[in-house]
């Protein structure tokens, strides 16, 4: 490609540095005293407040000066000072127009500074970006290549979709082969940006793209790879567009072009100044490997993967990490190559025992190299991190590959970091070791490894590990109580601590993402490998209790997916027969009862609030299944008798009323809705708040009350319906008993008065009633009907009062009739 | 999305010396976020990974004397490659300013931006050939001098 004379290359760099240095020092003499003063004071500022004060003064000064007709040189400097203000935290919108106007000036320096400032101040949706179009149109046609480059750089940042058509026509000529490489390279990147914003716009320019790929200048070729990466990344293009593109650009040819280029690069065919620490154009190698990886992943292309094995093997040889002199960058390239190999083999979708000999050999080699990553006796954890990442990907191909790394995995499983913490010696080495092991980044990576190693045998151990991690993450932040306390503490302080609040919420946001990831992983594994339904229920409840105490509004969307799945499971059953379903419901009911009892039992102990979603789930489950369960067995016992509380056992109805009165819970109405029959409808896509068919959100009648009341009433509604279900089932059961009909184990509401559908199912029920209990019967029925039809107009406290009384009635009825 | 989301140079007191955002972040959030990232970097020892998960992306950092060079990148990116790119960029600055220091960056902010603009466009690493970057800067400096 270019000339390979090393001596010439070296002196070129040396010569450049000399010239530049002399110029840089003279530059400082061109700055005004004010500017130098500004920079000095910023540099010497001792605290954030002092810096803020300096910048505020500066900004106020500039606001006055900026529009005065001063000499152009001053204007240039003002804009740079404005850049400083914004960078240090003081927004200066009054200066934006000055920056934009500078792009219309005559001198190169002014234009460049105008373009730079515009790209820093504005974003592609800003109202001023349209004003730059004129400058673009002028400068793209300029004979000064530096000007063209400046315009192209800014266009790449600030262009928006609507402005593409006029600009792309000016950019296209800049891609012609006879243009300067510096211009071509930037024009290609501008084209990339256009394509990202509006993919079809690239269609007329595919030839130019092909030329860029085959350009003799490596930088131009490198830029073009960015476009191909966009094309072959999933979901960037519609299938039609993808097909249109690949009709012109043959995928097979492209792949062999990329492989060919990679071959040339690793054989040092590029100019020496593309070398970095002895490796030829490492970032270009990475781009090519990634691209090859991507291309093969597309389903229609997976057959082509075989062609890539050889080049990737070559790459691994050239960047051999097992050699003593292996550099960091060689590790980096090997990492990418191993990723590509694993992913290509995985795409074939065959089982391990069907891999070709070549593939097995490659994988064995990869595992050997991964060992080096993991065991690199280096002071940094970076390599271990990458090694663990590779291991978690390789394991998906064949779990046996993890065997040489057992001790590593066990360490992750047992969270050995805690053990090491206790040995806090004064020895700095040890301290560093401890700190290294406490590396949060590394820890998270190892948890990913555990995730990919999970199977039916080790799922319990791994889930326990993940749950303990979730507990830690919830304690640290992303938790409602932590948040509130933090804010209260800082309320008394001044401005400085207002920034503190912002920082805390940043940290909570961080924890939030990590928690979410953990929850997703736990749920995925539980669903896939649960050994037993009761274990599954336990795990889900555990996740809810640990992971959903935060009141961040995003959580409500997150929680409902799997909760509604669980409700569906309870309702529809496991599909393994009636016994299994009964067992499952029994277990769920007793579990919820236990947890709620514990929560409402302790006097004077301020318990942490239960997650809203948990309460909702528990209330519904108890309403549906409590009576059914209790009726069969007489009492509720958990399988494991150890869990039975010795303290006072609270009746479920009482628990429910307590929840209603508690008033602390909000109800999620996005995925569940109570319909006319007081049954829950599950909506996976989420409902809009305008949905009138449900009763979860009671808009009109309560519009005068505040939201807290509303949601409180919503919780009350759920509790009420659960109670009504229980009471009506009890009543029907008692009635059936009294009427001397067959004592049935599963009294369902169809046999008795169906409160929710009016008198539809009378079927001469009245005739069945024993005269003795008739009055009681009717009284209770009336009470229940009152509740159903009048709850909308009652306050929560009235409802709960009614429920208490109803309960008394039913109890006296049942004791009188037994 | 974008390979590189933003690039920061922040000193260990938390003062920003360079910030370049390739994806838009609201102005009010920038300074607290930059300071938080530096605090996290400071709390890590030299043996720990030079990158960390932050929100839903990754932050790669490298410390040179009192300055942290920080690049926030997409989760899919090769962290070590970004780390080495930081070094490549620092080498380029070093050549341009002849042993670069914090003051050089402060007094020549626009130049530091222009060098970066040669190497990263649209959040993608496009140029790592230091000689090319420097010769482009030389052309620019020449033209500016003449034009003045």
pLDDT, one tens digit per residue, over A460-478 is: 988 998 998 888 888 765 4
Helix (H) or strand (E) holding A254, with range, is: helix A251-266
- Environment class of A455 (CB within 10 Å of its CB; exposed 0-12, middle 13-18, buried 19+): exposed
- Indicate yes or no: CB of B53 within 8 angstroms of CB of A444: yes
pLDDT of residue B51: 92
Of the listed ranges A28-32, A205-209, A495-499, B83-87, the least confidently predicted one is: A495-499
CA distance linking residue A678 with residue A696, whole number of Å: 10
Closest approach of chain B CAs to the CA of A218, in angstroms?
9
Nearest CA in chain A to B112: A116
Of the listed ranges A8-12, A229-233, A580-584, the least confidently predicted one is: A8-12
Q: Which of B33, B121, B141 sits opposite A156 (nearest CB)?
A: B121
- Indicate yes or no: CB of A13 within 8 angstroms of CB of B131: yes
Secondary structure (3-state) at A126: coil
- pLDDT-derived band at B90 (thresholds 50, 70, 90) equals very high
Strands (E), A135-208: none
Instruction: Report the share of chain A in percent with pLDDT over 70.
Output: 72
Q: Which of B19, B53, B81 sits opposite A332 (nearest CB)?
A: B81
Instruction: Report the share of chain A in percent with pLDDT over 90.
Output: 35
Closest approach of chain A CAs to the CA of B131, in angstroms?
6
Of the listed ranges A358-372, A635-649, A719-733, B41-55, the least confidently predicted one is: A635-649
CB A465 within 8 A of CB A446: no
DSSP, residue by residue, chain B:
--SEEEEEEEETTS-EEEEEESS---HHHHHHHHHHHHHHHHTS-TTS-SEEEETTEEEEEEEETTEEEEEEE-TTS-HHHHHHHHHHHHHHHHHHHTS--HHHHHHTHHHHHHHHHHHEETTEE----HHHHHHHHHHHHHHHHHH-
Q: A14 at the B interface (CB within 8 A)?
A: no
A1, pLDDT greater than 60: no
In SS3 terms, A521-553 reads as HHHHHHHHHCCCHHHHHHHHHHHHHHHCCCCCH
Asked casually if ipTM beats, i.e. exceeds, 0.95, the reply is yes
Q: A685 at the B interface (CB within 8 A)?
A: no
Which residues make Cβ contacts (< 8 Å) with residue A773, sequence separation at least 6?
A734, A735, A738, A813, A816, A817
Residue of A40, A96, A80 whose CA lies nearest to B108: A80
Interface of A with B in 610-639 (CB under 8 A): none
In SS3 terms, A101-164 reads as HHCCCCCHHHHHHHHHHHHHHCCCCCHHHHHHHHHHHHHCCCCCHHHHHHHHHHHHHHCCHHHH
Q: Which of A16, A80, A510 sits opposite B54 (nearest CB)?
A: A510
Q: Angle CA(A686)–CA(A689)–CA(A692) in degrees, nearest 5?
A: 105
Q: Which residues of A touch B15 (CB under 8 A)?
A: 42, 45, 51, 88
pLDDT of residue A577: 84
Helices B130-147 and B79-97: crossing angle, nearest 10°? 40
Of the listed ranges A701-710, B79-88, B108-117, the least confidently predicted one is: A701-710
Q: Which residues of B touch A192 (CB under 8 A)?
A: 122, 124
pLDDT of residue A580: 86
A117, pLDDT greater than 80: yes
A10, pLDDT greater than 70: no
Distance of CA A196 to the CA centre of its chain: 22
CA distance linking residue A128 with residue A115, whole number of Å: 12
Q: Which residues of A touch B80 (CB under 8 A)?
A: 328-329, 331-332, 335, 382, 386
| pTM for the structure as a whole | 0.81
Of the listed ranges A281-295, A669-683, A691-705, the least confidently predicted one is: A691-705
Q: Which of A87, A226, A282 sits opposite B16 (nearest CB)?
A: A87
Which residues make Cβ contacts (< 8 Å) with residue A312, sequence separation at least 6?
A289, A292, A337, A340, A341, A362
Q: What is the mean pLDDT of residues A348-358?
A: 86
Which residues make Cβ contacts (< 8 Å) with residue B99, sequence separation at least 6?
none
Residue of A112, A471, A783, A346 whose CA lies nearest to B118: A112
CA distance linking residue B97 with residue A216, whole number of Å: 31
Number of Cβ pairs < 8 A linking chain A and chain B: 227
Q: What is the mean pLDDT of residues A661-676?
A: 65
Q: At B62, give phi and psi (nearest 5°).
A: -150, 140
pLDDT of residue A49: 86
- pLDDT-derived band at A553 (thresholds 50, 70, 90) equals very low
pLDDT of residue A683: 54
A150, pLDDT greater than 70: yes
Question: Best residue in A110, A271, A276, A503 to probe B by mutation, most B CBs within 10 Å?
Answer: A276
Nearest CA in chain B to A124: B24
Secondary structure (3-state) at A279: strand
CA distance linking residue A260 with residue A264, whole number of Å: 6
Q: Which residues of A touch B43 (CB under 8 A)?
A: none
Angstrom distances, CA of residue A494 to CA of A49, A490, A497:
11, 8, 6
Q: Which of A19, A39, A219 sits opposite B127 (nearest CB)?
A: A219
Q: Which residues of A touch B104 (CB under 8 A)?
A: 24
Q: Angle CA(A29)–CA(A31)–CA(A33) in degrees, nearest 5?
A: 100
Average model confidence (pLDDT) for chain B? 93
Half-sphere exposure of residue A299: CA atoms within 13 angstroms, side-chain side:
3
pLDDT, one tens digit per residue, over A73-96 is: 788 889 999 999 999 989 999 999
Q: What is the mean pLDDT of residues A450-455?
A: 88
Residue of A517, A430, A421 whose CA lies nearest to A469: A517
- Indicate yes or no: CB of B122 within 8 angstroms of CB of A185: no
pLDDT, one tens digit per residue, over A364-395 is: 999 999 999 988 866 678 998 999 999 999 99
Nearest CA in chain B to A8: B131
Q: A307 at the B interface (CB within 8 A)?
A: no
Nearest CA in chain A to B124: A226
Q: What is the mean pLDDT of residues A157-186?
A: 94
pLDDT, one tens digit per residue, over A594-624 is: 888 888 876 545 567 788 888 888 988 888 8
CB A566 within 8 A of CB A577: no
CA distance linking residue B5 with residue B2, whole number of Å: 6
Average model confidence (pLDDT) for chain A? 78
Q: Write out the two tokens for A566.
A: 């669980």
CA distance linking residue A141 with residue A151, whole number of Å: 10
- Indicate yes or no: CB of A112 within 8 angstroms of CB of B114: yes
Q: What DSSP designation does A746 have?
A: S
Q: Which residues of B touch A283 (CB under 8 A)?
A: 81, 85, 125, 128
- Indicate yes or no: CB of B107 within 8 angstroms of CB of A39: yes
- pLDDT-derived band at A2 (thresholds 50, 70, 90) equals very low
pLDDT of residue A104: 93
Q: A273 at the B interface (CB within 8 A)?
A: yes
Which residues make Cβ contacts (< 8 Å) with residue A66, sequence separation at least 6?
A75, A78, A82, A94, A95, A98
pLDDT of residue A270: 93
CA distance linking residue B21 with residue B4, whole number of Å: 9
* Residue A302 vs residue B83, higher pLDDT: B83
Q: A552 at the B interface (CB within 8 A)?
A: no
Q: What is the mean pLDDT of residues A109-120?
A: 95
Of the listed ranges A133-137, A304-308, A540-544, A585-589, the least confidently predicted one is: A304-308
Nearest CA in chain A to B9: A87
Q: Write out the two tokens for A565.
A: 């799945």
pLDDT of residue A813: 76
pLDDT, one tens digit per residue, over A566-593 is: 888 888 888 888 888 888 999 999 999 8
Which residues make Cβ contacts (< 8 Å) with residue A808, sequence separation at least 6?
none
Bridge partners of A10? none
Closest approach of chain B CAs to the CA of A428, in angstroms?
12
A489, pLDDT greater than 90: no
Question: Best residue in B8, B126, B139, B143 to probe A by mutation, most A CBs within 10 Å?
Answer: B126
pLDDT, one tens digit per residue, over B17-65 is: 999 999 999 988 999 999 899 999 999 888 888 999 998 899 999 999 9
Q: Which of A116, A271, A509 sits opposite B55 (nearest CB)?
A: A509
- pLDDT-derived band at A715 (thresholds 50, 70, 90) equals confident
CB A785 within 8 A of CB A729: no
């Amino acid at each position: 490609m270019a000339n390979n004379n090393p001596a010439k290359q070296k002196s070129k760099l040396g010569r450049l540095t000399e010239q530049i240095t002399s110029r840089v020092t003279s530059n400082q003499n061109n700055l005004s005293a004010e500017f130098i003063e500004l920079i000095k004071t910023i540099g010497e500022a001792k605290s954030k407040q002092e810096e803020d004060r300096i910048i505020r003064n500066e900004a106020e000064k500039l606001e006055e000066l900026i529009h005065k007709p001063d000499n152009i040189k001053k204007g240039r400097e003002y804009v740079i000072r404005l850049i400083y203000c914004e960078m240090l935290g003081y927004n200066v919108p009054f200066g934006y127009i000055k920056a934009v106007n500078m792009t219309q000036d005559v001198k190169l320096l002014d234009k460049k500074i105008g373009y730079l400032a515009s790209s820093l101040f504005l974003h592609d949706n800003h109202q001023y970006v349209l004003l730059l179009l004129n400058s673009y149109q002028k400068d793209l046609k300029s004979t000064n290549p530096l000007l063209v480059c400046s315009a192209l750089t800014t266009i790449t940042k600030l262009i928006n979709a609507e402005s593409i058509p006029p600009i792309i026509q000016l950019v296209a000529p800049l891609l012609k082969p006879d243009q300067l490489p510096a211009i071509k390279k930037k024009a290609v990147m501008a084209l990339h940006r256009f394509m990202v914003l509006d993919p079809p716009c690239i269609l007329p320019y595919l030839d130019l793209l092909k030329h860029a790929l085959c350009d003799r200048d490596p930088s131009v070729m490198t830029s073009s790879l960015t476009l191909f990466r966009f094309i072959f990344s999933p979901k960037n293009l519609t299938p039609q567009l993808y097909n249109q593109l690949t009709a012109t650009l043959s995928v097979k040819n492209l792949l062999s072009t990329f492989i060919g280029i990679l071959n040339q690069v690793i054989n040092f065919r590029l100019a020496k100044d593309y070398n970095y620490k002895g490796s030829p154009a490492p970032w270009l190698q990475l781009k090519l490997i990634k691209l090859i990886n991507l291309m093969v992943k597309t389903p229609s292309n997976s057959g082509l993967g075989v062609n890539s094995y050889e080049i990737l093997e070559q790459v691994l040889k050239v960047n051999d990490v097992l050699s003593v002199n292996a550099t960091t960058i060689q590790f980096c390239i090997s990492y990418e190559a191993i990723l590509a190999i694993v992913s290509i083999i995985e795409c074939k979708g065959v089982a391990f025992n069907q891999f070709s000999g070549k593939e097995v050999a490659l994988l064995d080699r990869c595992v050997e190299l991964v060992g080096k990553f993991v065991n690199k006796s280096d002071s940094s954890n970076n390599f271990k991190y990458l090694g663990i990442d590779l291991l978690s990907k390789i394991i998906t191909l064949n779990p046996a590959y993890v065997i040489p790394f057992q001790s590593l995995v066990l360490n992750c499983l047992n969270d050995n970091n805690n053990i090491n913490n206790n040995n806090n010696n004064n020895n700095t080495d040890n301290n560093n070791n401890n700190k290294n092991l406490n590396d949060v980044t590394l820890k998270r990576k190892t948890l990913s490894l555990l995730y990919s190693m999970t199977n039916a045998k080790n799922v319990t151990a791994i889930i326990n590990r993940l749950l303990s991690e979730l507990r830690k993450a919830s304690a640290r932040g992303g938790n409602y109580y932590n948040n509130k306390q933090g804010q209260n503490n800082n309320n008394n302080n001044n401005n400085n601590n207002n920034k503190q609040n912002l920082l805390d919420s940043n940290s909570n946001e961080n924890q939030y993402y990590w928690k979410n990831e953990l929850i997703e992983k736990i749920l995925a594994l539980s669903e896939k490998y649960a050994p037993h339904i009761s274990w599954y229920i336990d795990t889900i409840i555990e996740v809810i209790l640990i992971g959903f105490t935060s009141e961040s509004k995003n959580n409500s969307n997150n929680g409902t997916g799997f909760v509604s799945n669980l409700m569906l499971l309870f309702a529809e059953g496991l599909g393994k027969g009636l016994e299994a379903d009964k067992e499952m419901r029994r277990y769920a009911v007793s579990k919820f009862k236990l947890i709620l009892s514990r929560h409402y039992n302790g006097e004077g102990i301020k318990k942490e609030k239960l997650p809203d979603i948990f309460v909702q789930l528990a209330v519904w489950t108890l309403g549906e299944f409590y009576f059914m369960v209790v009726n069969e067995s007489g009492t509720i016992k958990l399988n494991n008798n150890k869990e039975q509380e010795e303290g006072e056992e609270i009746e479920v109805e009482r628990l429910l009323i307590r929840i209603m009165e508690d008033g602390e819970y909000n109800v999620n109405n996005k995925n569940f809705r109570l319909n006319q029959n007081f049954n829950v409808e599950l909506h996976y896509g989420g409902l809009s708040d305008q949905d009138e068919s449900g009763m979860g959100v009671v808009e009109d009648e309560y519009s005068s009350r505040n939201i807290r009341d509303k949601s409180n009433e919503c919780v009350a509604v759920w509790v009420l319906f659960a109670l009504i279900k229980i009471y009506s089932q009890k009543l029907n059961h008692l009635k059936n008993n009294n009427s001397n009909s067959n004592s049935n184990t599963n009294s369902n509401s169809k046999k008795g008065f169906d409160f929710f559908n009016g008198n539809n199912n009378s079927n001469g029920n009245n005739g069945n009633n024993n005269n003795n209990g008739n009055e009681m019967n009717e009284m209770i029925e009336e009470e229940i009907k009152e509740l159903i039809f009048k709850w909308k107009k009652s306050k929560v406290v009235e409802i709960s009062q009614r429920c208490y009384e109803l309960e008394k009635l039913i109890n006296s009825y049942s004791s009188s009739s037994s | 999305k974008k390979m590189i989301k933003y690039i920061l140079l922040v000193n260990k007191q938390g003062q920003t010396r360079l910030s370049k955002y390739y994806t838009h972040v609201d102005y009010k959030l920038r300074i607290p976020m930059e300071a938080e990232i530096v605090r996290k970097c400071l709390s890590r020892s030299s043996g720990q990974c030079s990158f960390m998960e932050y929100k839903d992306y990754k932050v790669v950092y490298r410390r040179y004397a009192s300055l942290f060079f920080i690049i926030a990148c997409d989760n899919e990116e090769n962290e070590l490659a970004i780390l080495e790119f930081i070094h490549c960029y620092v080498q380029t600055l070093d050549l341009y300013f002849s042993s670069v220091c914090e003051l050089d960056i402060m007094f020549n902010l626009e130049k530091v931006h222009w060098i970066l603009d040669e190497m990263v466009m649209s959040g993608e690493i496009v140029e790592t050939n230091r000689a090319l970057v420097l010769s482009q800067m030389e052309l620019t400096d020449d033209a500016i001098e003449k034009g003045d």
